[in-house]
Amino acid sequence: MSIDSLIAISNALSVSTDAILFGEITYDKEPYCKEFTDIMLYCSDKEKKHIMQAARYAKQLIHDIKS
């Protein structure tokens, strides 16, 4: 894989290149929970549904790539 491909994949998945190359890196999850809560705070029910579907899909993609 070229470095350009690695960077493109990293950017598309919003994960670090380290995480792709070396496996899962443990992060403090609390900031992400707060940010996610802030994002969802003023969303309609329909927007929340679509955001959750997108999050589940992204999580599955990341899981599949790691496997």
Q: Distances in Å between the alpha carbon of 4 and those of 11, 14, 16, 66?
A: 11, 15, 14, 19
Distance in angstroms (rounded) separating the CA atoms of residues 56 and 53: 5
Model pLDDT for residues 41-52, shown as the tens digit of each residue: 999 999 999 999
Which has the higher per-residue pLDDT, 13 or 54?
54
Instruction: Indicate the residue type of 3.
Output: I
Q: 60 falls in which pLDDT band (50, 70, 90)?
A: very high
Q: What is the pLDDT of residues 21-44, one digit of tens each?
A: 887 656 666 777 888 888 899 999
pLDDT of residue 26: 61
How high is the pLDDT of residue 27? 60
Q: What is the mean pLDDT of the chain?
A: 84
The whole-angstrom separation of Cα 63 and Cα 26 is 15
Q: How far apart are CA 63 and CA 47, in angstroms?
A: 24
